[in-house]
Amino acid sequence: MSLAASPAAQFIDEPARSIPVHGDYDVVVLGGGPAGIAAAASAAAHDCKTILVERYGFLGGAGTAAGVTNFCGLFANVHGDVRRVVHGVADDLLARIDRLGGLNAPHMVLGKTNAQAYDTTAYKSAADDFLISRGVDLLFHALGAGVVAEAGVLTALIVETKSGRRAIRGRVFIDCSGDGDLASWAGAPFELEADNLLYPTMMFRVNGVDPDLAGEAWNAIPALMREAEKRGTRFARQGVVVRPQRNPVEWRVNATQVASRNGRALDGTDADELSYGEIEGRRQAQAFVKFLQAEVPGFAQAYIVDTPPQLGIRETRRIVGAYQLSGEDVLRCASFPDTVGVNGWPLEKHVAGNVEWSWPPIPQSRGFNHLPYRMLLPQRLRNLLVAGRCASMTHEGQSAARVSGGCFVMGEAAGTAAHLALARNTAVAEVDVAALQRLLEASGAYLGRDVTTGELVR
């Protein structure tokens, strides 16, 4: 193949070519994180022929690929009572992780709500089994690379695979890539605030901890960090999380913070910055484990057992859809008539050097906001839904609803809505919301309509 070079040699022209069609589907889901798993599972449960395309060889998204190993957003503090508020698809998946022995009991976070840790390996296998049991076709090691669209209608997703470039034809597409890749290729408006992104983190796990000596080390670590700083140690950030996994000799460490060379949060859609960030993240991990070994009781023999396949990116593109969930919506526990589920996680802003938390009033408020169907609807496109951390939210709204619980909710709603759009031959924006809500509740999802103390937003 000959490629013609442009005069300035900054671009080359790629010749047009015909590419094989990998398959024809009712629903094509890009991305296998919590949003993509839930979207594919729910579409397939409604008898849609569904494929999930994932660039790695396993599911879980940031939850496995970035080493997160902890579900947030499944619970809310409802008037002082910590309750599980995300059900539906998440119930089945978590039960499968638990059956593999990979799920911790829920633990308290900052005295306000619960989170729940898991083993990466169990999550991967449970998610495989879950989607296969629902009849979803899985295409791993396939990088989404473009779309074919005409007059606001998507007809195919282009993927790069080891077998070559392929097209996957579909009737409805769901972008669960986290980065809004598919939506941006399709021309959907989005925001990417390069100077105001949540900072990324290279997660890691240590093994060899003495659990008896370590005790509740997470309570002691902030003071130990302050003491070490007085002696000259420099940390990338405060507000670190160091907590045990299921076997208490193994702990996860969420303590690094990766800026780009100019100090602002690294942009996870920039290939050069990502390459720099992977190396910088691993460097910071090695530095932090030295602090743990030297200063924290129970960690003298600890060693890094795993740095994950990729740097943990919290925020990149957010589509600007029919409604943008805001930080204000989270703090005032907003209600929406088109609720498809709830978010009980607070604003968790990873700013330079720190993590800032903002909660709805507890226990006065119900502690969760509704997630409206409109946040899944990009502009201008008839057959595209966007779910997960790239859905339509402001920077602050995303700092809350981006966690796993909210992503399961959005994915389940998107997969169910895709089914309704196909069954009734409508645009996704014209899906009958009451019918969607009925189907979601029939599948066990909680829409938060029985606790009515939130402020109604239309």
Ligand X SMILES: Cc1cc2nc3c(=O)[nH]c(=O)nc-3n(C[C@H](O)[C@H](O)[C@H](O)COP(=O)(O)OP(=O)(O)OC[C@H]3O[C@@H](n4cnc5c(N)ncnc54)[C@H](O)[C@@H]3O)c2cc1C
Which residues contact ligand X by CB under 6 A? 30-36, 53-56, 61-63, 65-66, 68, 70-73, 143-144, 176-179, 181, 201, 203, 254, 312-314, 388-389, 402-404, 407
* DSSP-derived pairing of the beta strands 137-139 and 50-53: parallel
Q: Closer to ligand X at the Cβ: 312 or 378?
A: 312
Task: State in angstroms the smallest separation of the CB of 114 from ligand X.
Answer: 11
Q: Quick check: 305 and 206 in contact, CB under 8 A? A: yes
Q: Give the tokens for residue 269.
A: 């859609």
150 contacts: CB under 8 Å, gap ≥ 6:
none
**Taking the CA of residue 101 as centre, how many other CA atoms within 13 Å lie in the half-sphere pointing to its CB?**
1
Q: Quick check: 442 and 354 in contact, CB under 8 A? A: no
Task: State in angstroms the smallest separation of the CB of 139 from ligand X.
Answer: 9
List Cα–Cα distances, 338 to 176, 379, 451, in angstroms: 21, 17, 15
Q: Which of 16, 61, 20 is nearest to 38 (CA)?
A: 61
DSSP 197: P
How far is 324 from 317, CA to CA, in rounded Å? 13
Q: Quick check: 148 and 169 in contact, CB under 8 A? A: no
Task: State in angstroms the smallest separation of the CB of 1 from ligand X.
Answer: 24
Bond preceding residue 248 cis, omega within 30 of 0: no
Task: State in angstroms the smallest separation of the CB of 287 from ligand X.
Answer: 17
Task: State in angstroms the smallest separation of the CB of 76 from ligand X.
Answer: 13
Task: State in angstroms the smallest separation of the CB of 341 from ligand X.
Answer: 14
Q: Closer to ligand X at the Cβ: 335 or 378?
A: 378
Task: State in angstroms the smallest separation of the CB of 385 from ligand X.
Answer: 13
Which residue reads 């009925």 in tokens?
438
Q: Closer to ligand X at the Cβ: 144 or 341?
A: 144
How far is 307 from 200, CA to CA, in rounded Å? 14
Q: Is the dihedral of CA 78, 395, 402, 175 positive or negative?
A: positive
Q: Is the dihedral of CA 399, 313, 74, 113 positive or negative?
A: negative
CA Rg value for the chain: 22
How far is 254 from 273, CA to CA, in rounded Å? 20
Q: Closer to ligand X at the Cβ: 33 or 346?
A: 33
**Taking the CA of residue 197 as centre, how many other CA atoms within 13 Å lie in the half-sphere pointing to its CB?**
30
Task: State in angstroms the smallest separation of the CB of 404 from ligand X.
Answer: 3
Q: Closer to ligand X at the Cβ: 42 or 177?
A: 177
Task: State in angstroms the smallest separation of the CB of 262 from ligand X.
Answer: 21
Q: Give the tokens for residue 32.
A: 């296998």
Element (H, E) at 121: helix 120-133
Task: State in angstroms the smallest separation of the CB of 241 from ligand X.
Answer: 7
Q: Closer to ligand X at the Cβ: 225 or 391?
A: 391
Bond preceding residue 106 cis, omega within 30 of 0: no
Q: Which of 262, 260, 267, 401 is nearest to 323 (CA)?
A: 401
